[in-house]
Amino acid sequence: MGQSRFRSRTEHILDAKGRLNLPTRFRDVLRELGSDILMIAPWKDHLRAYPLAEWEILETKLLTHGGELGSFVRYVVGGVSECVLDKQGRIRLPPDLRTDVNLDKEVVLTGMLDWIEIWDKDAWYRETATTREGFENHKANLAKLGIL
């Protein structure tokens, strides 16, 4: 069996307490990784949710190669929150993180292989429209990877 990755996209509704029901396929990846902890970090216009082991890899890279990234570290590492899955498979997104990236009620989760992005639904659709319009800009990099 291949390595578990976060894949696909789903739309969700945050409840009044800011809880987000994680899709079963994402919970399965966490279970295979042996963790029920997600590190949720602000990332400009969305949140990134990392399994603890992936988050620690990112921190190590920042420690060893991030000397010029002080303000980035302050924003992302300073803003990170440890979120534990509850028995219903939900995480509670802290109010400050929700406010930071304008998450209201309707959100989109998208698997990014090693992490999950959490977007405000309207922001997600604007971002994907921009990506779709500029799709040709990715041709050279895809060709380098042997995908085209």
pLDDT digits (tens, 9 = 90+) for 43-82: 999 999 999 999 999 999 998 887 788 899 999 999 999 9
Domain count of the fold of the chain: 1
In a domain, 145, yes or no: no
In a domain, 41, yes or no: yes
Can you give the CATH number for the domain in which 36 is found? 3.40.1550.20
Residue 139 pLDDT: 86
Residue 67 pLDDT: 79
Which residue type does 72 have? F
Residue 138 pLDDT: 86
Residue 55 pLDDT: 96
In a domain, 35, yes or no: yes
Radius of gyration of the chain (CA): 16
Residue 68 pLDDT: 86
Q: In what order do the strands lie in the sheet with 37-43?
A: 9-13, 106-111, 116-120, 46-51, 37-43, 81-84
In a domain, 143, yes or no: no
Residue 112 pLDDT: 97
Residues of the domain holding 20: 9-121
In a domain, 49, yes or no: yes
In a domain, 54, yes or no: yes
In a domain, 134, yes or no: no
* Token code pair at residue 87: 């028995």
Cα 90 to Cα 88: distance, rounded to the nearest angstrom: 6
Residue 2 pLDDT: 58
pLDDT averaged per 10 residues in sequence order, the chain, 148 residues: 84 96 95 93 97 94 86 93 96 96 96 97 95 87 88
Residue 43 pLDDT: 96
Cα 40 to Cα 116: distance, rounded to the nearest angstrom: 9
In a domain, 86, yes or no: yes
Cα 4 to Cα 88: distance, rounded to the nearest angstrom: 21
